[in-house]
A and B are shown apart, each in its own frame.
Chain A
Amino acid sequence: MLLSPNGASRSLAAVFTPIKSRGLVDEVCGRIEQAVETGLLTSGQRLPNETELAAALGVSAVTAREALSQLRASGIIRTARGRSGGSFIADNVLPSRERALAQLQDLSRLQIRDLALHYQAIAAACAGVAARRSDAADIATLRSFIPSANDDSASWRLALSEFLLEVAAIARSARLARELIRLQADLGTLTLLPCADAGYRGCTAVILEDVAAAIEAHDPGAAETGVKDLISATTDWLLTEQAKRY
């Protein structure tokens, strides 16, 4: 379909797109996966039954049941029958290198580049405003998220995403913060891969210090450049790694 400048608005096309009903189930699964990743729910721990889960998350029992079965299928939870039965967080459920590699194989170079562009646009907007609005307490909090060189790859990954969320918090824009959270969810466990590389950790540690210094010095330009460099470092690493696998 060709939409000329005089024809129908391109934004109208979205009106006729079918509405997917999977949304809520995926949302529940995402919450539980996130709770596991951040250590709130741990391996072997019993999950509430579907009625309790539904009540806690404000969804229907049907949605909760579907979410539990989706989590079971993806190996996040295991279910035991009988008196001491129920759903439990599976062992070895933390984001693994194998899962991240599988995700990397599934994505095209184009998808990775486009995601990075979007991520850079949002993160740079946050960094620019953060540089204008930061105070001393903000900078202390921001620096507390800079990981140390001997942290393991999983905590590096969490620290990097928390660092950028803190930049959004310093910018004090709810919309940009929400968009950043969505983008990080889209990136998924991919970012675990570079964090296992000491070279990448060393290079990003320098960038994080630079970003914090630029935000502290109220220098929006340098702050924007810094976060863009940070995201480029990640995507360049991923694209290099992916190319090796062809």
Chain B
Amino acid sequence: MSETTSTAGPSAGPSAGPSAAPAGPGSAERAAAELDATIAGIEHRLAAWAADAGAALAAMSGKVTGTAVDKLIRPVVEELLQLPGGYAAGAGFIANAGLLGPERSYIAWWQGPDLEHVDALANFSPNSISRYVKAEWFRIPVETGQAHVTGPYVDFLCTDEYVLTFTHPVFTRPDGPVAGIVGIDVTVQRLERGAMPALRRIGGRATLANADGRAAVSAAPDIDAGDLISPDEQCAHYPVGRAFTVWSNAAGL
């Protein structure tokens, strides 16, 4: 399978996909700005949610219960999942150890239009935190106190799909420990539907890649989501959100 990507390398680049040639000066820039607005929109929504959730948890002044967390989180998840044209496949909150009990986490996470409750059995476990501490989407925002995007990766815990997970730490005090994380799962499939038209306007081999140089969505038929890719030497780079880049002309490794 490796041959299919290497033979169609950079030399096949700009000429591939004649129908996808840039439509005019500035058109690629506008298309890239559109993609950036989509991803940054998800990130801003998440940051606002984290701030609201932190304030509400702080107001509970140490008496945080699972029921109270559900009540706080579920309406936001409902709004996110049922938003027409929205990107969220699943969303929720996961408590860090300490918020509800020493080794205890708490997951308030729902997925799909019918708001299926995810991993809820773990909430009956006294050591549920062990389930999340190693996961990149939990560990990094908790360790760094910064927002993070994980993936694309196969999500075994929730969706069983190929997804991106956007997570943001939640603070109850500005200088305090991380109380938990809020997050939004976006399936690569959903992202592909949203991003393909703009990528095609940027170029026949335009590709949205994560910080590791892995393709999330590509206009090139021989680059699949999950492939490691590299930008062509002369190609344009457009930042998309905090962690992604669009390369106007990419090739498989």
List A residues at the B interface (Cβ < 8 Å). Answer: 31-32, 35, 39-42, 45, 47-48, 55-58, 128-129, 132-133, 135, 137, 165, 168-169, 171-174, 177-178, 181, 218, 220
Whether the pair B131, A40 counts as a contact (CB closer than 8 A) is yes
Q: Is B124 in contact with A56, judged by CB distance below 8 angstroms?
A: yes
Which residues from A are CB-within-8-Å of B117?
A: 55-58
Q: Is the interface of B mostly helix, strand, loop or mixed?
A: mixed
Contact with A along B226-250 (1 / 0, CB 8 A): 1110000000000000000000000
Q: How long is the Cα–Cα vector from A164 to B31 in the complex, in angstroms?
A: 40
Please determine whether A172 and B152 come into contact, CB atoms closer than 8 angstroms. yes
Do the beta carbons of A48 and B161 come within 8 Å of each other? no
> Are B1 and A174 interface neighbours, CB within 8 A?
no
B64 lies within 8 A of chain A by Cβ: no
Distance to closest chain B CB from A71 (angstroms) = 13
Query: In the complex, are the beta carbons of B154 and A40 less than 8 A apart?
Result: no
Chain B residues positioned under 8 Å from A32 (CB to CB): 121
Q: Mark B200-213, 1 if CB is under 8 A from A, else 0.
A: 00000000000010
- Other-chain contact of B154, A41, A48, A135, A172 (Cβ < 8 Å): A172
Residues in B neighbouring A39, C-beta threshold 8 A: 127, 130
Question: Of the candidates A45, A165, A177, which one forms a contact with B126 in the assembled complex, judged by CB atoms under 8 Å apart?
Answer: A45
* Bound complex: CA A173 to CA B212 (Å): 18
A171 to B214, CA, bound (A): 13
Smallest CB separation, B38 vs chain A (Å): 22
Q: Closest 6 A-B residue pairs measured CB to CB?
A: A172-B226, A56-B120, A40-B125, A174-B162, A177-B154, A174-B161
Which B residues lie within 8 Å of A42 (CB)? 126
Q: Closest B residue to A131 by CB, please name it.
A: B2
